[in-house]
Every structure is written in C-alpha cells, then in structure tokens.
C-alpha cells in the first residue's frame, strides 16, 4: 500500500470521534489478549482455558478505560494536531480508567486474572493508544507536500470578498499559500473560484483541515453576523490552526479586500450584527453646512460622533472636552484638514460654556460629556452630580438661549430605577432636560439611552485583556452577571438617526440585542488569546459591587415603548414636570461644598433627584455594565 493511501486511512480514522473510539476499543482488547497470551502460552490451545476470564476481563477493562476517556473529553481533541498538553490529558484519563478497573477486578473478583497478565496489559494499552495517535500526526505531516516555508491556508467564503482575497494571495508569493475554499453553498462544491477549488462546506472543516494539512483559516465573509463568526471560531479553536478574519462591511468602506486587511479574530467580530440601514439623506441634510457642537468629544462616544459627523460636511465642528490629552488625540485621528475647533472647557462651568455658545452659535448640539464609571462615581457623588446634572443643564439652557435647532443628550439605561450614583445623576439630567424644553420650545430636545459600548476606555474588555496579558486571573464580579453590548460605531449611527427623526421631548432607546454573560465573555476573550479558561488562565469571582445589578431589563413595560420608523430605535414621549429640579441640584452642590452634606446623606439626596416622575410614560428599563464608559468630557 502506498504512503499516500495509508495516510488517508489514518486521517479518515482521526477525523471522526466514533471511528477513533472503535479503534481504541480494538487496541484495548488486543492489550488484554497480549497480557493473557504472554503469561499463559497455552491459552489458545485446544481446551480454550481461561476463555471465560479473558472475555470478562476484556469487557470490564475496555468499559472502564473508554468511559474515563469519554468523561475526560479525550474524543473532542483533534489528534492530528494535538500537542503535549493533550497527551498528558490522555495519560491522566487512562490512569483514572485503569485504576477503576484494578479496584473493580480485585474487589469483586469475578474473573481469574494473573498479576503478571495485569501488568502486561496495563503497560501495553497506553503504548498502543499513544502510538495510534502519533501515527495520526505523522500521517498528517506526510499526507501532502507544500511550498517550503509557506503556510497552507483555507478560505472560508467563496463570495466576492473571498475570491478577491484568493487572487491577492495567488499574486503574492508571501508566507500564505491558499489551498482552496469552503462555502455553505452546496452548488459550489468541487467548482473552481479564482483558480481554487471549493473543497466542501463549513460542516466539513475538521476533515478538510486534516486532509489538506491546513495551517491557517481565513474567514472572508465581511457580511457575516457575529453568531456565524462565533460558530466558526468555536469549531476552529480546538484544531490548532491560526484563524484570521476580514473586518466587517462597516470597516471595509472602500470595498477593497487584500492580505493586509486580514487580522486576528477579536471580540468585536463575535458581536457583529446585521449592518444597520440608516436614512443617510435625512441625517446628512440635518448636518450639512451647520455648526455642530459635540461635548465630551474626547471620549469613546463623543469622538465617534465627531468621526461620523465630518463625512456629512458640517460647516464647523466644535469639539469640546475637559481633558486636553483626549482632545489632542481626537485631532490627531481626524487629520489636519478637518474643520474642527478644539475647545477645552468644563460643561459645569456656566461662564465658559456661555462663551462657547456666544462665539460659535452651534445649531446642533450632541451632549456626550458625563462621568460614566459606576464604582468611581460611588466614591465621588458630588462630582457626578456637578458634571452629569448641572453640566447637562448648562449646555441645554444655552442651546435654547442661543437658538440651537436640536439638542441630543447621550443618556444611559442606568437612569431608569437607578441603583447607582451615576444612574441617579443621569436620571436627574433627563429631568432637567424636560424643564429646559418647556422654557425653550423652539429647540428640539431629546435623550438617547443605551447600555454598554464595546471598546470604551473604561469598559470591561480592555481590563480583561490587560489581565490576560499579565497571566491572569481575570476578575468577574458574579458568574451570572449579564450585560447588553453594542459596538461604538453602531451605537453612534443610531444616535445620529434618532437625532434626525426627533421632534422634541422624546426619549429614544436603542435595541441592544441579546444580553451576554460577562463570565462567558471572559472565557471567549481568553480563548481568543490562545489560552484555555480554567487551565491556562483562571477566572476569579470578586462579588457584586455597590450600585450594580445582576441582570439588565431592557424594557420595564414593552407596551410603553413605541416603535419608530427605524427597527433598531424605540421611543417614548417624556412627561413634562411641574417644576424644575434645578434649585434642588444647586442646593445639594452648595451644601456639599460647605461640608454640611456628605457621605450617605449626600447619596440619599442625589437618589431623590433620580426617583422623580416614576409614573411617566417612558418606563424603559435596563441596567448597563459595571464599567460602561469613561469620563467623556
């Protein structure tokens, strides 16, 4: 038999768990046979002595060892690419099964088993099991020749992006050599796309990777939702192949696909959703030629608002922030030709803010400035009230006084039934916004609530990545903690859409998708870095912190949330309040500054501001992540 045919047989065996289990069974039976025959040379004689004992011992030994291998998930390992860790796992599983067999055999004593036969079979079995798996690896190494020094790559997706990537790989004699495609369109099977054969579907990835000795898998489906990327990564992760991916459609704005666009899979890829359809014409007509102010412009949300505003040709973009470094970094990222006016100011400083409105007369205001870090605001309640509530009031009042057309406040789902200082102060800001709307009816005021954004400086993901880089442990507050997540560009695009459709007095809530367990996210991040949770990197549970909740509730009462013309945006009409809470905010800040109000009493007064108008129509509720965002302004 030729070497190639023998290799194919070995790979066929190693490609399916049931085939490998069947071969293990045969090898275990053979090891028992070897143990008996070497000790009792007359065993296979005419009298068939010890036949009953042989059959009983063979059945008991095979059952014990196979059960242990199965319970230890030995058959979930892709053995043609297994490493030393997998072989140690095999050894531990075998020892557990062998120990169970020895206990059973000498406790129950149903069969005659010479001690020398026992020793022989216990030594022969692991040698056979390891040799079998080593043969699978050798078969993989010898099954196919490849260009020296180049990685064999499999492209997932034989569509336009995949074919463009294949052509670029074939034109370049770099480190990657494309072996073919996989695509879930059965009609493409065995067809040629961009000079490469479609080898099968994603359901056959294991077999195709083994047969063609694949080193790298390239996912070339920019339109694929996060669930599909997550499913593919779950299949590929145990196979010890490199996985690289093309960015989503939103990050391939120029439509060009090349080797340079490939990158490692990250968490954003796993959270992709269907591309959002926007009313670009309406949004652009709102922004084009107008003077636009963005507060908190140096933060995660504020900076993305600036990036999405500029292509829509505003006359002037006033980027206001409290931190000079963040504004400097924003200017660097936007380029020198952008019509951006940088302003360093504190939104709670009424005189400084009035100067900005007087000098630039913004027609549109996107108010993203806020303190949003939950645990920090529990320690600094006065500062949270000063920036989040008073700062919002200053900006909103001045927008009305100086004739702005629209004022869009970035709020949070923590503002509903708040359990944290941050949430209570944001709820107070919403209430202040209502009072300003009543005083300045010509300006359209609206608030947009959403939960976690992935990638913000204060979010949980960068913290996890730092902990993984340090070798762990990764700290999670509670194993059942769940949060909603949205990508920053997605959230901001919906903010712009809501701002364009608002008529004044609305509270918009964004569709955040399905909640994600924080512990599951931590496990996924660990695997994305090439480690195994619990083995290479530990997860440590630290307990729920002050102001946090276990679960988010996206809607308090769905019947109170109306759909809009956009499927991802819900709205509720805010109920005007009889009196402004501004005097209470000012009085609390004054008393706190004088030292007559502090500690828990200060927090109680702040929470009283966030409990107003409980019966309003907009009871849309959720509780965002423990570290939603950074101070944005």
Task: Give the catalytic positions in this structure.
Answer: 414
Q: What is the largest CA-CA distance in the chain?
A: 111
In three state form, how does the secondary structure of 491-508 look? HHHHHHHHHHHCCCCEEE
**Spatial distance between the Cα atoms of 378 and 374, rounded to a whole number of angstroms:** 6
DSSP alpha helices (H): ranges in 387-474? 391-401, 421-439, 460-469
Residue in the structure block whose two tokens are 């699978």: 136
Q: Using H for helix, E for strand and C for coil, what is the string for 251-287?
A: HCCCCCCCHHHCEECCHHHHCCCCCCCCCHHHHHHHH
C-alpha distances (whole Å) from 324 to each of 170, 295, 343, 415, 458 are 47, 13, 9, 28, 18
Please answer whether residues 623 and 363 qualify as being in contact, where contact means their C-beta atoms are separated by less than 8 angstroms.
no
Number of other CB atoms surrounding residue 361 within 10 Å: 14
How far is Cα 384 from Cα 315, in angstroms, rounded to an integer? 33
| Structure-block tokens of residue 221 | 């489906």
DSSP, res 80? G
Cα separation, 121 vs 28, whole angstroms? 8
Q: What are the percentages of helix, strand and coil residues in the chain, rounded to 5? A: 50, 15, 35
Cβ(160)–Cβ(181) below 8 Å: no
Is residue 208 within 8 Å of residue 199, measured between CB atoms?
yes
Q: Strand, helix or coil at 514?
A: coil
Sign of CA dihedral 146, 147, 152, 157: negative
Element (H, E) at 489: helix 488-501
Nearest to 291 by CA among 351, 330, 332, 340: 340
Which of 455, 414, 411, 454 minimizes the C-alpha distance to 434?
411
Tell me the two tokens of residue 565: 């013309």
Through-space distance between the first and last CA atoms of the chain, rounded to whole angstroms: 73
Phi then psi for 526, rounded to 5 degrees?
-60, -45
C-alpha closest to that of 205 among 244, 236, 237, 246: 236
């Amino acid at each position: 038999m030729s070497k190639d045919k023998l290799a194919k047989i070995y790979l066929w065996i190693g490609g399916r768990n049931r085939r490998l289990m069947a071969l293990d069974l045969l090898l275990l039976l053979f090891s028992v046979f070897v143990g008996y025959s070497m000790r009792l040379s007359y065993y296979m004689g005419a009298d068939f002595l010890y036949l009953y004992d042989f059959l009983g011992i063979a059945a008991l030994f095979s059952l014990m060892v196979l059960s242990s291998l199965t319970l230890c998930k030995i058959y979930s390992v892709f053995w043609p690419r297994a490493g030393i860790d997998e072989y140690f796992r095999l050894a531990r599983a075998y020892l557990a099964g062998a120990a169970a067999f020895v206990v059973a055999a000498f406790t129950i004593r149903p069969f005659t088993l010479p001690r020398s036969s026992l020793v022989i079979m216990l030594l022969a079995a692991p040698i056979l099991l390891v040799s079998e798996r080593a043969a699978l690896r050798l078969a993989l190494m010898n099954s196919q020749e490849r260009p020296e020094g180049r990685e064999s790559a499999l492209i997932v997706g034989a569509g336009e992006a995949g074919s463009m990537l294949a052509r670029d790989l074939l034109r370049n004699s770099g480190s990657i050599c494309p072996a073919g495609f996989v695509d879930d369109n059965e009609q493409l099977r065995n067809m040629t796309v961009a000079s490469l054969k479609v080898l099968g579907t994603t359901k056959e990835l294991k077999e195709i990777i083994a047969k063609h000795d694949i080193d790298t898998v390239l996912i070339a489906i920019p339109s694929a939702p996060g669930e599909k990327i997550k499913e593919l990564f779950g299949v590929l992760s145990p196979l010890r192949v490199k996985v690289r991916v093309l960015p989503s459609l939103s990050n391939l704005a120029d439509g060009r696909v090349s080797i340079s666009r490939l990158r490692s899979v990250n968490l954003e890829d796993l959270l992709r959703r269907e591309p959002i359809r926007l009313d670009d014409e309406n949004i652009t007509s709102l922004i084009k030629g107008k003077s636009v102010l963005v507060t908190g412009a140096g933060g995660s949300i504020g900076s993305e608002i600036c990036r999405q505003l500029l292509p829509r040709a505003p006359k002037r973009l006033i980027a206001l922030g409290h931190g000079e470094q963040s504004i400097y970094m924003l200017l660097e990222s936007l380029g020198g030709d952008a019509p951006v006016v940088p302003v360093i100011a504190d939104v709670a400083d009424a005189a400084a803010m009035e100067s900005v409105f007087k000098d630039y007369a913004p027609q549109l205001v996107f108010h993203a400035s806020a303190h949003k870090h939950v645990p920090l605001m529990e320690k600094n309640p006065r500062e949270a009230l000063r920036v989040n509530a008073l700062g919002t009031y200053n900006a909103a009042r001045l927008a009305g006084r100086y004739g702005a057309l629209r004022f869009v406040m970035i709020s949070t789902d923590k503002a509903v039934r708040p359990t944290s200082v941050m949430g209570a102060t944001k709820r107070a800001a919403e209430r202040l916004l209502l009072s300003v709307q009543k005083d300045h009816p010509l300006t359209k005021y609206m608030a947009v609530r959403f939960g976690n954004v992935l990638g913000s400086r204060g979010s949980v993901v960068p913290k996890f990545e730092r902990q993984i880089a340090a070798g762990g442990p990764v700290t999670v507050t509670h194993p059942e903690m769940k949060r909603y997540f949205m990508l920053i560009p997605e959230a901001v695009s919906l903010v712009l859409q809501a701002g364009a459709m608002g008529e004044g007095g609305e509270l918009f809530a964004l569709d955040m998708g399905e909640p994600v367990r924080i512990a599951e996210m931590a496990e996924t991040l660990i695997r994305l870095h090439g480690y195994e949770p619990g083995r290479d990197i530990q997860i440590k549970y630290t307990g729920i912190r002050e102001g946090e909740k276990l679960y988010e509730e996206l809607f308090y009462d769905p019947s109170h949330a109306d759909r809009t013309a956009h499927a991802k945006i819900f709205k509720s009409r805010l109920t005007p309040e009889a009196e402004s809470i501004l005097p209470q905010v000012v009085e609390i800040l004054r008393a706190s500054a004088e030292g007559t109000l502090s500690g828990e009493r200060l927090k109680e007064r702040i929470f009283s501001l966030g409990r107003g108008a409980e019966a309003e129509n907009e009871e849309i509720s959720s509780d965002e992540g423990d570290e939603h965002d950074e101070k944005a302004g």
